[in-house]
Structure 1
Amino acid sequence: MKKMQIKIIEPETDEIIVINNSEELHKLFEELKKESDVIHRKQIPS
């Protein structure tokens, strides 16, 4: 089976994040989901 990587470049810092397996990808999505939830909560007026 062919081994694949996903490389993500953080636009603000040019930091490169390398994803080697589905577990790392899952962690990244969970992190992004948390950030998205925080941003969404900030935009909703109380």
Structure 2
Amino acid sequence: RGADLRFTDLSGASLAGAQLQDAHFDQALWLDGKPCLVGSKGKCLR
């Protein structure tokens, strides 16, 4: 249940209107070291 974005590249994804309340980021980090947050852009790495 919910999206599993642990290994997803969101750089080109449009998340407008997406249901991410149940998204599972598994404490992932962006390439620049920032935590993955809904609405962030960039490559998300575990």
Name the TM-score, length of structure 2 as normaliser. Answer: 0.19
Structure with bigger gyration radius: 1
Does 1 or 2 have the higher relative contact order (CA < 8 Å, sep 6+)? 2
Name the TM-score, length of structure 1 as normaliser. Answer: 0.19
Identify the structure with the greater strand proportion: 1
Identify the structure with the greater helix proportion: 1
